[in-house]
Amino acid sequence: MAVSPPVAVRPTQFTTAANAFEQLQGDIRRALDRLVLTLGSSDTMAGQDAAGRSFSSAYDKTVNGDDSLLAGIALMGNACGRMAELLDASAVNHANANQHYALCTPTNPSGEAKNLESIPVVNLGSTFGGPGEPSNWEKLKEFIQGEVFPDGDPGKLQAAGDAWTAAATSLRQHHGDVATAIAHIANEQSVEVTPAQDQAAFIQTHLSGIAGSCDSAAKMCNDFGSHVKETRDNIADEVKQLMCELVGGAVIGALLTLVTAGLSNVLSTAAGIARATRVGAKIARMIKALTRVTGGLMQRASYILDPVGAAAGDLGALMGSRATVFGMNLSKGAVRANSLANALKRLPDWAHGELQRAVDPALLRSELEAQGVPKHIIDEAIASNPYRNMTPEQIVDKYWKDGSWKWPENNGFKDGQYTTSDTLPPDLKLDRIGSENGSFLATEGTPYSQRALAPGTANEYHTYQTGPNPLPDGWKVQHGEVAGAFGQNGGGTQWVVVNEAGEHVPVAELLRRGILK
């Protein structure tokens, strides 16, 4: 009697894993449905004023389009669905092979494999708009220097923020579920196991990244809503005080809608007009301040979608695969190598190492250590790495232009502001991550992210201090706060010496002249 060969693969393990990923797709679909249901009622929550326009311009991009955060959540669900389909197809293949039902190939398995419905991408429209000005605001308009009443809806903004937070929590909970799902095939002897595990690891990574973006969207809504409410409360207080002073405290009406029975009479007197002019100027400053702070908040919005692009890059092979089983083209090494190779084709040779270090924290650490950079600076560089949720091609798209990295304007000084002096402070300690042919220095020990260096910078490290010789006549030293750049916040202090022609003086020349030592 013939002895059956040992079965190296248990199809039921692939089936169990497939069912777990199908369940994950369903869970993510339901989480997305809940989010969309709440956000669907958030139209016209931003307001019609300048701050509202700034908010809606940035926020709407996060919720609309094929590259939106909502699309990113759908992608994660569909990636789980695709995992379920491929794992189930593998189960069918192995069952056929084990039972000798038919000659079975990766492209022609017998049996009925899963074919799941994809999660669609939803667009919600614009949040711009609001109820408009409150009653009697018209009578104050001539005193507020043309500013528009901030009519954003703090309640809707809070609800939207809560919905994003709930979505983030749900995605993080599924991070562990992915590990549990893929663990079912860990002990199977099949070439499909490694690429399947690698794709599951990608899903885990990007669930966390997109959850972080959901947190950022929540913070955007909550912070803007808080500022709108605070501004409106302050405006109401000013109008209340105006009425109290001019009509003896006889204020009638709701403060938040600024309805006051005696407002017309108050503004018809000389004293009322004078006081209203002062109050109007103050209210105008409040509204302008809201617009400024909103602009600052919205600067972060450009980074919210980076994890979505990174997920699309890493999971592109999985989502585009027409095969019925996992191939080695889906291994992590193959996916990442292909992405890096495509990005490197767009860069000159001198920039290759920088991009490779930007996407590989271990390589960046190794190079910084080799260049003598202090450990605390290295540790901070790795911990604050802004490219962890970006593919190599995303980095090039965002930070490379016309043959060079996109350096910030104003020589890297925040808002173009710096202090000029004709002397360097005595005993000033400086450092530089870069050759002495460059001109810019940092206060010694400045964290890596506060220097706003180009991606993957890992050049030689030098320390300096003020030398015995003064600056020549006509030379100046400029120092000021570093502007944010390349996904880093900046915030450190940079120093540069300029000669009488306004040219930056290299560090090597400062050393030669004894200005630095």
DSSP label of 420 = E
β-bridge mates for residue 234, sequence order: none
Q: Is 394 an annotated catalytic residue?
A: no
Among the listed residues 456, 180, 210, 169, the one whose alpha carbon sits nearest the alpha carbon of residue 315: 210
CA quadruple 409, 410, 416, 418: dihedral sign: positive
CA quadruple 407, 410, 412, 416: dihedral sign: negative
Q: Residues with Cβ < 8 Å from 84, sequence gap 6 or more?
A: 18, 19, 21, 22, 24, 25, 114, 116
Q: Cα–Cα distances in Å, from 250 out to 139, 233, 242, 253? A: 18, 19, 11, 10
Strand pairing category for 400-401 and 441-443: unpaired
Among the listed residues 317, 364, 369, 354, the one whose alpha carbon sits nearest the alpha carbon of residue 339: 317
Structure tokens at 442: 């940092």
The residue assigned the tokens 């492209």 is 107
Indicate which residue of 432, 450, 451, 488 is catalytic.
Answer: 432
Indicate which residue of 13, 25, 488, 494 is catalytic.
Answer: 494
Q: Is 494 an annotated catalytic residue?
A: yes
Torsion of CA 433, 434, 436, 437, to 10 degrees: -150
Active site residues: 432, 494
